[in-house]
């Protein structure tokens, strides 16, 4: 027999929520085959089977919160697959805690959990039912289940989608939103936030348009990547901003690990990290950011992709957003925000005569921890970022 335990899921992560079992009791499973999915405040991950055999016990149900290192299942690595009663097509098989005797199979009870994300009134909602209701825009709490113990069946879900919602909804926060809110609340209460912003020349973006917004390797280049490159290089002169707090100590990092804010499903936020970003060319940074973006879209981010950030870049939330004031991502001490690049009238001097031309401008903002610096130093950093942007050699970086 082989115990399946919840492995370490990354720095500071001590527990996870079992969101889905890919195998049911009695199924054969191959070594390294995805066995179950676990959700943490950092990332959702598929956990591989540690051995080949038959899944004989499931000790943690969908929706259970499990500590790292805890047993969640047992695999008989010397058994062959028994036959189990089939379930209705499209319905998820109920999870039971241990295998019933072959001669007298026990009726499966509807699993009950405390986590509101995977249950309605304490009754687990299967992935198939959740998908049908989500696609139809129906909140599960408005549906009355006709299954055992009040469970919502596939037919209940289809009927609810056909009829449409009829009541006002009380929507619970998703696991990701709830934990993001907790982190941001702690940050706002524990760190004395400051903010400063400058208007920067965006002529570099016109130059980039003329050169082409793809690298010689065919990777797309965004405004955020260009600013991120200058931000990482400027931190070499403002090391106190490339730092994290550890208790009462400020740890100044030599490596710039640059986080990029990404909004995913349900308006939840992830911050994948480009490690050792200060020495990269624009071409290399674009490739690394592009690879992270692909893993965000395909839900294949690893815990390593999200850990170790020392400084964060927050791109413009929309093409019309001039300014944003982000909350610090603990234990970091600074977040750079980028406003939308605008075409505006710009006054220049030509042989002593003021001339109005069309130029590009955008706002650079910095949220910072007042324990580390004050507004003058923060503004100095932003001005250095703007200088580095203006002096970028796009031909060689491209």
Using one digit for the tens of pLDDT, what is the confidence trace for 180-234?
888 889 899 989 999 999 999 999 999 999 999 999 989 999 999 999 999 999 9
- Copy the structure tokens of residue 185: 């609340």
Same domain? 211 vs 160: no
Secondary structure (DSSP) of 253-278: -SS--EEE-EE-GGG-EE--EESS-T
Which of 91-105, 173-187, 296-310 holds the top average pLDDT? 296-310
- Check whether residue 202 and residue 278 sit in a common domain: yes
Instruction: Return d(Cα 345, Cα 246) in angstroms, integer.
Output: 46
What's the confidence (pLDDT) of residue 242? 97
CATH number of the domain within which 152 lies: 4.10.320.10
26 and 92 share one domain:
yes
Of 59, 92, 109, at which residue does a domain stop?
109
pLDDT tens string 28-68: 998 888 899 887 766 667 888 999 999 999 999 888 888 88
Percentage of the chain beyond pLDDT 70 is 84
Would you say residue 338 has pLDDT above 70?
Answer: yes
The pTM of the full predicted model, rounded to 2 decimals, is 0.61
Which of 172, 196, 211 finishes a domain? 172
Structure tokens belonging to residue 177: 């939103």
pLDDT interval class at 240 (50, 70, 90): very high
Among 134, 156, 172, which residue terminates a domain? 172
Residues 167 and 285 in one domain: no
For residue 116, pLDDT over 60 is answered with no
Cβ–Cβ under 8 Å, residues 327 and 195: no
Residue 269 has pLDDT above 80, yes or no: yes
Is residue 307 exposed (0-12), middle (13-18) or buried (19+ Cβ within 10 Å)? middle
- Report the SS3 class of residue 367: strand
Place of tokens 């919502």: 152
State whether 103 and 118 are in the same domain: no
Q: Which domain holds residue 39?
A: 1-109
| Most distant pair of Cα atoms in the chain: their distance | 99
Tell me what pLDDT residue 123 has: 58
The one-character DSSP state at 99 is P
Q: What is the pLDDT of residue 92?
A: 45
- What share of the chain in percent tops pLDDT 90? 52
Which pair of structure tokens corresponds to residue 47? 């956990």
Report pLDDT digits (tens) over 72-90: 999 998 876 554 444 444 4
Lowest mean pLDDT among 7-16, 251-260, 387-396: 7-16
Burial of 240 (0-12, 13-18, 19+ CB in 10 A): middle
Number of structural domains (the chain) is 3
CB 56 within 8 A of CB 25: yes
Q: Are the C-beta atoms of residues 144 and 155 closer than 8 Å to each other?
A: no
- Residue 16 sits in a domain of what CATH number? 2.40.50.100
Ranking 35-49, 252-266, 384-398 by mean pLDDT, the lowest is: 35-49
Q: How confident is the model at residue 101 (pLDDT cuts 50, 70, 90)?
A: very low
Tell whether 348 and 328 lie within a shared domain.
yes
Distance CA 317, CA 340 (A): 8
Shared domain for 324 and 353, answered yes or no, is: yes
Same domain, 104 and 244: no
295: pLDDT strictly greater than 60: yes
Phi/psi of residue 266, each to 5°? 60, 30
CATH number at residue 264: 3.30.559.10
Identify the CA nearest to 339 among candidates 314, 311, 358: 314
Same domain, 187 and 326: yes
Residues 221 and 369 in one domain: yes
Q: Are residues 265 and 223 in the same domain?
A: yes
Do 164 and 180 fall into the same domain? Answer: no
Q: Tell which residue, 137, 124, 210, has the closest CA to residue 169.
A: 137
Mean pLDDT of 364-389: 97
């Amino acid at each position: 027999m082989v115990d399946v335990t919840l492995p370490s899921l990354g720095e500071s992560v001590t527990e996870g929520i079992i969101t889905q079992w890919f195998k049911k009791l009695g199924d054969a499973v191959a070594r390294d085959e995805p066995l179950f999915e676990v959700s943490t405040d950092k990332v959702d991950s598929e956990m591989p089977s540690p051995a080949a055999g038959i899944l004989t016990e499931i000790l943690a149900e969908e929706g259970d919160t499990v500590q790292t290192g805890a047993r969640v299942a047992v695999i008989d690595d010397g058994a062959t697959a028994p036959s189990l009663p089939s379930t209705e097509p499209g319905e998820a098989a109920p999870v039971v805690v241990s295998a019933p005797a072959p001669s007298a199979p026990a009726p499966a009870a509807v699993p009950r959990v405390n986590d509101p994300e995977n249950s309605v009134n304490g009754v687990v909602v299967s992935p198939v039912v959740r998908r049908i209701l989500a696609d139809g825009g129906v909140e599960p709490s408005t549906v009355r289940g006709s299954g055992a113990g009040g469970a919502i069946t596939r037919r209940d879900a289809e009927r609810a989608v056909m009829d449409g919602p009829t009541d006002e909804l009380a929507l619970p926060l998703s696991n990701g939103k709830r934990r993001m809110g907790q982190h941001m609340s702690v940050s706002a209460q524990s760190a004395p936030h400051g903010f400063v912003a400058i208007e920067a020349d965006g002529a570099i973006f016109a130059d980039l348009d003329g050169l082409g917004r793809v690298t010689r390797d065919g990777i797309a280049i965004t405004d955020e990547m260009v600013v991120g490159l200058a931000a990482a290089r400027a931190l070499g002169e403002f090391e106190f901003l490339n730092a994290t707090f550890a208790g009462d100590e400020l740890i100044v990092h030599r490596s710039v690990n640059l986080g990029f804010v990404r909004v995913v499903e349900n308006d939840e936020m992830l911050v994948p990290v480009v490690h050792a970003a200060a020495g990269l060319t624009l071409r290399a940074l674009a490739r690394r950011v592009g690879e992270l973006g692909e893993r965000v879209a395909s839900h294949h981010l690893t815990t390593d992709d999200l850990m170790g950030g020392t400084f964060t870049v927050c791109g413009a939330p929309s093409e019309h957003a001039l300014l944003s004031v982000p909350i610090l991502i603990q234990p970091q001490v600074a977040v750079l925000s980028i406003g939308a690049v605008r075409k505006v009238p710009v006054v220049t001097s030509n042989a002593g005569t003021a001339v109005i031309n069309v130029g590009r401008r955008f706002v650079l903002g910095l949220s910072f921890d007042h324990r580390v610096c004050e507004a003058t130093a923060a503004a100095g950093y932003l001005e250095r970022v703007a200088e580095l942007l203006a002096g970028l050699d796009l031909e060689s970086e491209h």
